[in-house]
Structures are given as structure tokens and as C-alpha cells.
Amino acid sequence: MSTTAENNHWPPCEGKAEEPFALPASLRPGRQDPPADDPFALAAQPQPLVVVISGPSGVGKDATVRRMKELGLPFHFVVTATTRPRRPGEVDGVDYHFLTHQQFQELLERDELLEHAIVYGEHKGIPKEQVRRALASGLDVIMRLDVQGAATIRKLMPDAVLIFLVPSSEEELIRRLEQRKTETPEGLATRIATARQEMERIREFDYVVVNSDCHLDETVEQIRAIIIAEKCRVRKRRFQI
């Protein structure tokens, strides 16, 4: 059988190869909703997702989301509002919206938060309008949440994709928490105890990804693969806010 290009039924491919971390062209944002009765359009027009990246304190949620941003992945990364103090290197409006307790209370009173919780004595919340606008524009929404917040999103948006990050071992998790040097001995003990409790809730999530030291890009690639797989589902996930 001939294998020449002339006998190949597929048209020649043109253009540059995909970047290693890019989404396939058919899965990129900015596409219109397909007609419900057109199976070809349905397959070619994936819907935006709400993806929650969660896990115990110290597992690397912030580092994972930061790396996804650095790689230019075409998602909307929700900027969480929080009353906790800013850590070294964090930028207001980029890593978090750092608010006073009064400012946070005003958001609550105006019903502007999709989800909110008290985490280690400080308030955290997801602004509704960010999520609403991103979904309306066709962008996948990435939320970085603690385990408690992820459970709340599951109740509010049952079709949300919940990803649970885990360390390669408990020893690795404890070492990461210790290296932060942001906690008192009592505070560190509380975080370790809470992390153990949160690990027991892993079955509440859709996917688990091991985030090992020095393998951050592998973690990001696994999350990207999950998102691609979800966009290939026949039964699409739907979201309303």
C-alpha cells in the first residue's frame, strides 16, 4: 500500500507546532455555544469549565497556580479576596485581594461573594463577578481553594471539576510548612493537624494529583490533561451563578 502524501486522504498540516503546555486549538476559549441538535458542532465546541484546585495547607496550591500563569495557560485565574496578611513576594490584586476585615464585611453585605469561609482565623472569599464574566466570555475558571471552600463550591456548582493536590508524603508536607517560617509553633501544629484531617476528605474530589518537590511542571501538565479530558466529555458540565 502506498504511503505517499499524494495518497493520503488527510490534508497537509501547516503552521507552528503547539507549545508544550498549550490547549489544543479546538479546546481554546472564545467559541460560541453549539446548537444542541448538531453532534459535530457539539464535539467541536467545548463549554467553559469551573476547576477548583485544592488540597491541604502547604501542598503547593499557590505555587501551582502561579506556574500555570507563568506558562500563559488560557484560563481565568480567580483572585481570591482575603483578610490574611500579605506574605513576602505576594502582590495585591495578583496573588490575592488583600482586604481589611471591614472591607471584607462590606463584600458580604452586598452579596458579592460566591463562596467565603474563615480559614486559620482569616476570611477568604471568591468574588462572584469575576467568575460570571469569565464564563460568559468562554474562559475556563480556575479557583484556588482550601478543602472547606471546595466543598462549598461543590454544593453551589455540582458540575465543578474538583482537583485535590497531595504531597508525595506526610513528611514532605510537614517540611514545606516548616520552611515557610510564617507560623508560631502552635500555629504550625494546628496546620499539620488540619492537613491530616483534610487528607481524609480526598474521596470528595474528582481527581488527585501528586505535587512532588521539583516536579511542578509535571503537576501543571497533569492538571492541563484533566481539563482537556473534561472538555472531551459527551455530557458537558454546566454552570450558573
> What is the mean pLDDT of the segment spanning 127-144?
95
Question: Considering only 153-162, 172-181, 188-197, 224-233, which range has the smallest mean pLDDT?
Answer: 172-181
236 vs 7, higher pLDDT: 236
pTM: 0.78
Of 78, 94, 77, nearest in space to 86 by CA: 94
pLDDT tens by residue, 47-56: 899 999 999 9
- Of 2-6, 57-61, 73-77, least confident by mean pLDDT is 2-6
21 band by pLDDT with thresholds 50, 70 and 90: low
Domain positions in the chain: 47-231
Q: In which band, very low, low, confident or very high, does the pLDDT at 181 lie, cut at 50, 70 and 90?
A: confident
Residues in the chain: 241
Per-residue pLDDT, 1: 47
| Residues taking part in catalysis | 87, 180, 191
- The CATH number of the domain covering residues in 47-231: 3.40.50.300
pLDDT of residue 41: 59
Q: State residue 201's pLDDT score.
A: 96
pLDDT value of position 27: 56
Instruction: Work out the average pLDDT over 143-168.
Output: 95
